[in-house]
Amino acid sequence: MVSIDSSNPILYYKLDPGEWGSSAPASAATSVSRVSSHESSNIERFENKAAKEGCYVIAKDLYLNFNKRGDYLAATSGRSSVETYCPKKEENERVKSDLSSKISSKLKKYIYDELNVKMLLKDSKNATVKSIYERDLKKIEARKMELEQKKFRLYTQVTLLLAQHLNVNPDIINLTV
- As a whole-number percent, the residues of the chain with pLDDT over 90 amount to 29
For the stretch 130-159, pLDDT in tens is 888 889 989 989 988 888 888 888 878 887
Q: In this predicted structure, what is the pLDDT of residue 1? A: 45
Give how far the C-alpha of residue 67 lies from the chain's centroid of Cα atoms, to the nearest Å.
38
Residue 5 has pLDDT above 70, yes or no: no
The mean predicted confidence, pLDDT, of the chain is 85
Q: In this predicted structure, what is the pLDDT of residue 80? A: 93
The continuous run of DSSP H or E covering 62 comes out as strand 56-69
Q: In this predicted structure, what is the pLDDT of residue 177? A: 64
Domain boundaries in the chain? 4-85, 88-172
Which CATH fold would you assign to the domain 88-172? Methane Monooxygenase Hydroxylase; Chain G, domain 1 (1.20.58)
Nearest-angstrom CA–CA distance, 5 and 9: 5
